[in-house]
Amino acid sequence: MSVVYPVGHQIAIYNTEQKTQRFISIHLDDETMNTLAVCHSNSLVAVGTKVAQSAKGSVDMEKSSSVLVYDLHSGRRKKIFTTGDAPITKEIVSIAFINDGKFLIAQGIAPDWCLYMWSLEKGKLVTWVRATASATSDVSQISCHGYDQLNTQVSVTGNNTFRVFRIVDGAFKLSYQNKIDKNILCHAWVNDSRIVAGTNDSKILIFDAGELILEISYFIPQAPKYNQDLTIQEPCNIIPTVNTLTVFSTGLLAGLSTGVGVMFEKTDDLYFYKKTNEFLLEETEFACVSLSPHEDFVVVSLKNSQIYTVSLEADSKHGDSVKFDRLSQSFHTGPIIGMDVGVSKPLLVTSGVDKSVRVWNYIDNSIEVVKYFDEIAQCLPSIAMHPNGLYLLAGFSNTIKLMAILIDDIRPFWDSNIRGCKECRFSNGGQSIRWSSDDSKILMTTVDGSVCQWSTSTFKVDSKIISNDKAVLSSVMTHDAKIIYLALNDGTIQEIVNGTFTREFPTKVGVSELLISRSGQLMFAATLRGSIRTIKFPFSSDPSLSEPDALEFNFHSQQITHLCTSFDDQYLFSCSEDGCVWIYRIDERDGQLVRRDKEWTYSDEILVTKSDQRENYRTMNELKQRVDELKAKSDAQLRIKDSSYSMKIKELIDKYSTEVNILKEATAVFQKESDKSEQARLLEIQKTKMNHKAEVASEAEKYVDLQKRMEKLQNQWKSQMQDIETVHSQRMAEAASYYQKKLQEKQDVVQQAKEEFAQHKHKFETRLNEIEADVDRESLEISFDFESRLKEERESLSIISAENFSMKSKFDGLTRQIEEHKREFAKSVTEEKKLYTIIRSFEDDVVGVRKEMQERDDTIFDKEKRIYDLKKKNQELEKFKFVLDYKIVELRKQVEPREKDIIQLSDQITEMMEEIREYSQTHDRFSTEYQDLLMKHHAVQRDQSVEKWRSMQVKKIIKCFERDLSNVHGNLPDMNKAKKKLIALFQKYRNTSIDPPENPSSDLFPKLTDTELLLLLNRFDHPKSANSQHSHYIIALPNEEECNAARSREYMEKTATILKEKLAKSEAKRVDCTKKMLLENISLTSELNSLRMTIQMRKERLNNLTEARKQEKSFKQFIEQELKTHSIRELTDPCV
């Protein structure tokens, strides 16, 4: 059995038994697939299309949708149907085959809602009719009556629509309709007169001959919603919609919008159904359900592109649950934005907007590992696989992660705070993250048109080109890194050779991705509408070449996001926004596949963590111990059973031996009795034979007598038969004469009736001619009357259609304006939110700066800490500026009409940044001036303290001198003693000095705080005593608290000095470490250069060997030639 479903611009035919796929290519021009229908009798598939919008968002009003018919076996297109002279439609919403594939019907969309019917044999439109009764109604599904052999009934359902048409003489005739005030989303035929339908308010309606006879309500209570603080937001119940209905012999299956399938079975009453079971596939709407021919399972497709098989054999009476499984494997539920391929393993990794990373095996066409990330981390289109196929590198919104691919998981083990990484690649060897094929060049392109080529050896830009008027969508360079090709947004491919534009090639369709095969013989270009172009490469050097030769293949239905090839150029991989991953085989130009090295085999190693391995070993050891214990127990039980069974066998042997002896004795007795009965039977047989012979002889005599009597009777019967024949002949002659007379009489009567019939016929013909003349006259009058009415109706219909067309154009214009206003409003709201967030961030920055200004005034250590914080804040502002630039670029690419507003906002942001920078500079200038003033104040304070100290010293000296002088004055009567005292006094105070010490202590010259300084200045401005002449020289001495603060200041200054010394030492160590790493890098570079030289030499020898093989030289001649040019050491030593 096979399942048919659409994939991009292809139809996939999946064989459920062999697990294989076949594809039918659908050739569509400016159209997309919208609906499918399969005819099982003729093996046909019909595709209903929808007119696609152009790049500008407009739709061609003159183009109509079409229906394509393909053969499922050959894949060829059989027919293509259009609306012809009927009203055109932009979309086919539903199609179906009728009359065993002889006719095809399709349903169009508003405003006409036409129902079309085509003949597959004649290949033309047979008839059409408007399916709705009013302009407010619409149609969601049509289906044919499957229980009628001729399929002459067609049912049409939708919003306020339920109609059934009958096909009579190649036209639609309305059989019955029901004016129902419900939106019917789906329906199905139950029997020849009954239809079951599903609505958007969770109702299942049953109609019989157009009348509603039963309504089944189904309601699913949903879990209450919670706020962020875990309080119940609303305990509401959501009413699901019935999206699909499938009828089978024992009941029906309803598919709901909540992902729940509900099974009903028929009851004894033919009008009722009973719910038996329900199951949940995913929390996604049902899209389509198809029943298998044997009615044992159904295939369910969901709105998120997942396909399931659901078994219908579950018995609800025994409590069996419904069994379901995926048809093949899980797929991406949205656009795929990242892809890469491995080398050592046949693995392909993809990432999508569904926040999943999937690893595929492109040889087995199966999925290996699926990993979902949380809702906070949004996956960016940057993912890379290591060449050994064991590691992944993925970029997220705020970090990049290096992850290991395990057997059933993808586990990150390293990350880095790199924000907004949009591209990452491993090198060929896997030892670093680079972008070029030989790790020597890095090509970088931006959306605004700048192209940079970096050298990995010098870490400098080799060439840079800026194209201001065009945006770059993709770029690629040749393997020798000399030529660069760019895909621009105007649909051209530019060629850059040695940093200069040489030429450009126009393309019919815009190119979104470029890729050059590893062999360098082909270039692949992905277009914006989902096709892949294969271009011969390298391009011709002819300057007159307008566009290179290319082959185009249509597989995707939306824009292709990534292209990549396998390491051996055998496979090409593509992913798109339609959620599909396609795998192609690449042929050479002669039509043969690329040959792979016979010795090449894919590796089968996998990564296992130590914890998992230890757990496995622990589990294995436990299982071994359990096995040993079970073996010991089983051996003991076996020994016990052997002993018990041996005892039983002995008892049975003894028992059966006695029974055998008894049976032998009984057999001997029975043998004697049988011999006696045999002798008696033989005697009876002899007697019976004698009696039989006597009976046979008597019967033979009786037979002879009967034979003679039979001959006599035959002679008598012959004579009687002759007499009867003569009498019969006489009677027949008499009857013939009698009936001849009767016949003549009847012929006379018939002749008379014919004459009367001729007279009546003549009268009837005359009367008929009169009636025909009257009928013709009346018919002409009626036809003339109806023709005049029809003409008037046609004129009114043309006027109404013109008004309808104008109203439709006005309605479309208004809807477009409404949508544009909605988009502009949403964009303005998002921009307003972004500006609010920016303002809040700036306010937070201002508050932080103010706090830092307050903290800066405490100590020198706080000042250094503030400087560090400012540097850190500056880095954060630069990162924030980078994020803003990135967002501006993204918005500029996505929303072109709002570029002017974005430019104005960016200018405002730069002005605000300039104001913040000026404000910070002004603040720094004020802080330096404040420090200068503070230092001047400290100098003045020190001078004043010195003067105060001098005055105190003078006062002390004067007091001491007065005391000593009083002592001298007391000795005046004794002049000698007074003279000695006076000389001693002179000697004592001769060398007395009042100069301050060179290094005064903090107690002598205290350092005041800002508050004390303000108070002191206030004292100078407002002295306490105005009468004192020397009051302005008085300075208040510091108290004990001020002295403690001064000592703590001195301690912190010493601590800061020690920390500076430690910082200098750590900086010296870092410089030494950097020098050491630089020396190691130089040594590694030298080793790498030597290895490259060795590889180059080996390549040259390999080329020489290939040339020798081409020239049919023997291996011995090749070795002799090599020995002439190189020494044996050069040929054998890899270091040379």
Burial class (CB in 10 A: 0-12, 13-18, 19+), 430: middle
- State what percent of residues in the chain have pLDDT above 90: 15
Q: pTM for the complete prediction?
A: 0.56
* pLDDT value of residue 68: 93
Please compute the mean of the pLDDT values over residues 1052-1079 and round it to a whole number. 79
* pLDDT at residue 1120, rounded to an integer: 63
18 falls within a domain: yes
Of 323-327, 516-520, 551-555, 594-598, which gets the smallest average pLDDT?
594-598
Domain boundary among 181, 199, 221: 181
| Banded model confidence at residue 243, pLDDT cuts 50, 70, 90 | very high
What would the pLDDT profile of 7-39 be if each residue is shown by its tens digit? 988 999 999 888 889 999 888 777 889 999 999
Q: What share of the chain is helix, strand, coil (3-state, %, to 5)?
A: 40, 25, 30
145 is a domain residue: yes
Residue 824 has pLDDT above 70, yes or no: yes
Q: By percentage, how much of the chain surpasses pLDDT 70? A: 83
pLDDT per position as a tens digit, 169-183? 888 999 888 888 899
Residue 972 pLDDT exceeds 80: no
pLDDT band at 834 (very low <50, low <70, confident <90, very high): confident
What pLDDT was estimated at residue 196?
93
Residue 1093 lies in a domain: yes
pLDDT (0 to 100) of residue 563: 92
- Domain count within the chain: 3
Handedness of CA 201, 207, 212, 214 (dihedral sign): negative
Q: How confident is the model at residue 232 (pLDDT cuts 50, 70, 90)?
A: very low
Give the mean model confidence (pLDDT) for residues 794-813.
Answer: 78
Average pLDDT, the chain: 79
Lowest mean pLDDT among 220-224, 290-294, 644-648: 220-224
Write down the pLDDT at residue 545: 66
Is there a domain that residue 728 lies in?
no
- Give all strands (DSSP E) within 82-210, no chain letters: 94-98, 103-107, 114-119, 124-130, 141-144, 153-158, 161-168, 171-177, 184-189, 194-199, 203-208
- Phi/psi region, residue 209 (left: phi>0; alpha: psi -120 to 50; beta: rest), is left
Q: For residue 1035, is pLDDT > 60?
A: no
331, part of any domain: no
pLDDT at 539: 82
CATH of the domain at 153: 2.130.10.10
Half-sphere exposure of 877 (CA within 13 A, CB side): 19
Q: Which two tokens stand for residue 467?
A: 């194209």
* 658 has pLDDT over 70: yes
Q: Is the pLDDT of residue 1047 over 80?
A: no
Give 56's pLDDT tier (boundaries 50, 70, 90).
Answer: low
User: Which range of residues forms the domain containing residue 563?
Assistant: 468-532+545-589
| Cα distance between residue 1047 and residue 1074, in whole Å | 41
pLDDT tens column, 420-461: 788 888 877 654 444 556 667 787 777 677 788 877 777 777
- Report long-range pairs for 536-542 (Cβ below 8 Å, ≥24 apart): 536/589, 538/478, 539/495, 539/505
- Which of the listed residues 556, 574, 589 is the one where a domain comes to its end? 589
Mean pLDDT calculated for residue range 297-310: 92
**Does residue 742 surpass a pLDDT of 50?**
yes
Mean pLDDT of 92-97: 92
Whether 899 shows a pLDDT value over 70: the answer reads no
Query: How confident is residue 546, by pLDDT bands cut at 50, 70 and 90?
Result: low
Q: Residue 124: inside a domain, yes or no? A: yes
Which of 201-210, 430-439, 1088-1097 is the least confident region? Answer: 430-439
Number of residues assigned to the chain: 1136
- Packing angle between helix 610-856 and helix 860-894, nearest 10 degrees? 110
Residue 223's pLDDT band (boundaries 50, 70, 90)?
A: very low
Q: Name the helix (H) or strand (E) containing 294.
A: none
In a domain, 829, yes or no: no
Which residues, in sequence order, are CB contacts of 1052 under 8 Å at separation 6+? 859, 860, 861
User: What local confidence, expressed as pLDDT, does residue 1042 receive?
Assistant: 59
pLDDT band, very low/low/confident/very high, at 350 (cuts 50, 70, 90): very high
Using the 3D structure, point to which of 181, 210, 229 is the last residue of a domain: 181
Q: Which of 338-352, 507-521, 587-601, 847-861 is modeled with the greatest confidence?
A: 338-352
pLDDT confidence tier of residue 1029, bands split at 50, 70 and 90: very low
